[in-house]
Amino acid sequence: MILTFVLIILSIIISSLAKDTCWGEKLGYPCCPPTNCRIFYVNDDGDWGFHNYKWCAIDKKICDSSKSTETTDCWAKKFGYECCPPGVCEVSQKDENGSWGAYDGEWCGIIPSYCHKQD
């Protein structure tokens, strides 16, 4: 009787721990840290961020967007363009506003912090 009770409790604990696993880990990607919640891409799997030059899954259960370290706004939007996604860092043109690159056949503003590895 006690053994059955212990097994039931253990299975409840294990199943609750399994639910706390980041959804991205099932796809082979780490979760973004709770202080880095900026969304760069959304697909059927969920929201994706970028951390240390790698894609990461944004888990809304653990992500605290109020503490996001990636708070840079896209400076190119005021000129009618999007900013380049992380990793698109080749400068095609430079002006007084910043550096411009190209992504999917369109101009985009390069955000320097997305192009330089930060320790």
89-117: pLDDT as tens digits: 899 999 999 999 998 899 999 988 777 65
Helix, strand counts (H, E) of the chain: 1, 7
| Residues 77, 54 share a domain | no
3-state helix, strand, coil split of the chain in percent (to 5) is: 30, 25, 50
57 shares a domain with 46 = yes
In a domain, 12, yes or no: no
pTM above threshold 0.85: no
Range of the domain at 117: 72-119
Pair 56, 24: CB distance under 8 Å: yes
d(CA 102, CA 85): 10
Residues 76, 65 within the same domain: no
Establish if 29 belongs to a structural domain: yes
Instruction: Give me the CATH number covering residue 80.
Output: 3.90.1220.10
Q: Tell whether 58 and 91 lie within a shared domain.
A: no
Number of domains composing the chain: 2
12-23 pLDDT per residue, tens: 444 444 456 789
Are 77 and 99 in a shared domain? yes
Query: Computed from CA positions of residues 87, 92, 95, 100, in that sequence, does the dihedral angle turn out positive or negative?
Result: negative
